[in-house]
Amino acid sequence: MNFDVARKVGLLAALCVLTACALPRGAPIVTEVAGRSAEQSEADNISVVPITRESAGRIQSWPQTGWRGHYSWLARQRGPASNVLRVGDTLNLRIWDNSENSLITGQDQRSADVASVEIDASGMVFVPYVDDVHVLGLTATEARAKIQEEMTEIAPSAQVQLELVEGVGNSADLVSGVVKPGPQALPNRNFSILSLISRGGGISPSIKNPVVRLIRNGKTYEIPAPALFADPAKNIIVRGGDQVLIDEDRRSFVALGATAREELVYFHKEKISGLEAVSMLGGVNDTRANPAGLLVMREYAPAQVREDGTGPKKQYVVFTMDMTSADGIFGARNFYIHPGDTVMATESAVKPAQSVMALIGSVFGLSNAFD
């Protein structure tokens, strides 16, 4: 290469290195976001908190944002193998009596049917010639024996058959999120929620990250479907009147910057650590990202701000994660992302200059080739 070409390339190199940080970028560098002065942070109501092993444990006790911080589910309690009669159930009775002068059966008849006798609000059913019989809370077998006992005074030889048709009190409603939604009769008092979902054809394949919600007595309980499937203790017994809905887990955080993905990312389980969040994003971009400058930006409610260390000191907090140190990596494992957070991978200020130098090197090689 002649001296004139070398001089021009040298000037170009110096200019490019000086302006490398001004090249077009897809993300800020860490000092542009987190490197604020104390005065500027005070004015913007923003604090910067490094994530370490010590700070991650302390931050876990800070107020939750985006949701209440946990799912709520019931404890499993086994029930008897048979159902009990409830208000709204219907009984179909067939009364057999072979007596010659039976009050129950007509001439040349051996049985009489009493169809669709509904249990009223007081727990009674009306039986002809017997009057009201209290059957609420009895099993079908116990109710049959009681009705037959009541009839012995007027028909000593009578025998009673009983068929139960469950009403609302002995059924549960699969509201949505299954292949075949609708009410389902409960065959016994030991019928589990997984059996109920199975009766509905299983969870609809169109639902991503499903959450099972149970409405009982005016309260709502919910659990991620994978957690329900994995733990037999979570497979609770369904009660009459329960409503079950299966919906997508709509909690999400935003991914920005020098990551493999820039998008809205949905939670696939109850808790996601900072380290898992980076993994879910496909890692950081090797050619652009600064592994010492991973940021999580979070907004707290004004009422959640604390001066005693039990919460954030500012309404807006930038958490910084350093993946180049063991302390930072262990801290990121114990730091949890909240719904609504923004996870940003900043760019390295050095790597644009490295790219420019690589370009200059190729120019030198090309020039030498023509010498």
Residue 341 pLDDT > 90: yes
Candidates 233, 196, 188, 191; CA nearest to 212 is 196
Please name the amino acid found at residue 343. V
Reported as a single tens digit per residue, the pLDDT across 226-284 is 999 999 999 999 988 899 999 999 999 998 877 666 788 999 888 999 999 988 877 66
Q: What is the pLDDT of residue 139?
A: 86
**Average model confidence (pLDDT) across the chain:** 81
pLDDT, average across residues 18-47: 57
Q: How many CB atoms lie within 10 A of CB 277?
A: 23
Residue 107 pLDDT > 90: no
Q: DSSP H helical segments within 119-253, as ranges? A: 140-151, 193-199, 225-230
Residue 108 pLDDT > 90: no
pLDDT, average across residues 342-367: 57
Q: What is the pLDDT of residue 29?
A: 58
The CA distance from 192 to 238, in Å, is: 5
Task: Read off the pLDDT band of 367 (50, 70, 90).
Answer: very low
Percentages of the chain per state (helix, strand, coil), in multiples of 5: 30, 30, 40
Q: What is the pLDDT of residue 97?
A: 84
311 HSE (CA, 13 A, CB side): 16
The residue count of the chain comes to 371
The CA distance from 283 to 261, in Å, is: 9
SS (H, E, C) 35-88: CCCHHHHHHHCEEEEECCHHHHHHHCCCCCCCCCCCCCCCCCCCCCCCCECCCC
pLDDT, average across residues 330-339: 96
The CA distance from 105 to 28, in Å, is: 91
Would you call 352 helix, strand, or coil by DSSP? helix
Task: Read off the pLDDT band of 348 (50, 70, 90).
Answer: low
Task: Read off the pLDDT band of 224 (50, 70, 90).
Answer: very high
Reported as a single tens digit per residue, the pLDDT across 164-195 is 887 767 789 999 999 999 999 888 778 899 99
Residue 366 pLDDT > 50: no
Please name the amino acid found at residue 82. S
Would you call 308 helix, strand, or coil by DSSP? coil
